[in-house]
Amino acid sequence: MVNTMKADLRFHADLRDFLDKPARSSGRVAHFFNAQGSVKDAIESHGIPHTEVARIVVDRRSVDFTYQVADGDRIDVYSVSELLGVAPTKTLCPPAPNPVRFVLDGHLRRLSRYLRLIGFDTVCEGAWNDDDLVSIQAREDRILLTRDVGLLKRSAVVRGAYIRATDPHQQLVEVVRRFHLARRLDPFTRCLECNGVLSAVDKDEVAGNLPPRTRELFDDYVMCPACRRVYWQGSHFARLTHIVQAARDADQAAAASSLHPLAERDHDDNDAGREL
Ligand SMILES: [Zn+2]
């Protein structure tokens, strides 16, 4: 069937990264269609997941995702990153859950550890498939973080974000900025491995399981009630403190320069260790 109607879409800022190469520099795309459909479907048909869109303007009028595209429309589509300072009620972005909590694609395992490090309830299991991620996001009212564009296009994904950076430190800064988390940090309160909430434990209780040198050097320990891991302020502590500080500074920091658009899902490496 020949498409007989046409709308002009103009994507702004980093939404252009999702477009096919010829359209990337201008952000302009001709959208041909032959039956009425929502602007959400039109936008996503060109590669942009709805979670990354903060505002849609048709002929100077703001519309929501259900707007039915008409022949001859000129549609401007603005990115979440452009409207970070704008109240969510004035954008298409749903408000973040309170408290803020996340579910992460298994490929973002190091980011999940860093989000726990700064105190956010974060679940991430390599065994979960796309259906699992979407249903956990909805059922537990979590924000889905992924580098899988297709996953974010699913209509059941209400709260989600595409993670642009490939470096886990940069990813953390990106998430803190996007969800305005810098003032809501509660570092060193969650188990990095399993998301359990840590609580103080007597040295005597755990001494038998500690390396002798650790026992000598440290008096304060916390334990995860879920997986029984014990943490102390060991040699990794300074490095982890730096990561926390980078998260605190994230809102002030200049726009991250090392963000790479739409790279393949990155591979995770193991960053295990019990020392805080
Ligand atoms: Zn644990």
Tens of pLDDT along the chain (276 residues) come to 677 899 999 999 999 999 999 999 999 999 999 998 999 999 999 999 999 999 999 989 999 999 999 999 999 999 999 988 787 778 999 989 999 999 999 999 999 999 999 999 999 999 999 999 999 999 999 999 999 999 999 999 999 999 999 999 999 999 999 999 999 999 999 999 999 999 999 999 998 889 999 999 999 999 999 999 999 998 788 899 999 999 999 876 544 433 433 333 333 333 333 555
Cα 44 to ligand 1 centroid, rounded to whole Å: 39
> Which pLDDT belongs to residue 17?
96
Cα 223 to ligand 1 centroid, rounded to whole Å: 8
> Tokens 């249903």 belong to which residue?
135
Cα 167 to ligand 1 centroid, rounded to whole Å: 24
Pairing of strands 230-231, 221-223: antiparallel
Q: Is the Cβ–Cβ distance between 73 and 7 less than 8 Å?
A: yes
> Which residues are within 5 Å of ligand 1 (an ion), measured at CB?
191, 193-194, 196, 224, 226-227, 229
Task: Give me the half-sphere count of Cα atoms (radius 13 Å) on the Cβ side of residue 102.
Answer: 29
Q: In the structure, how many helices (H) and strands (E) does the chain have?
A: 9, 12
Domain extents for the chain? 5-90, 101-187
> Which pLDDT belongs to residue 253?
52
CATH fold of the domain at 5-90 = Ubiquitin-like (UB roll) (3.10.20)
Tokens of 272: 């295990």
Cα 275 to ligand 1 centroid, rounded to whole Å: 13
Cα 217 to ligand 1 centroid, rounded to whole Å: 23
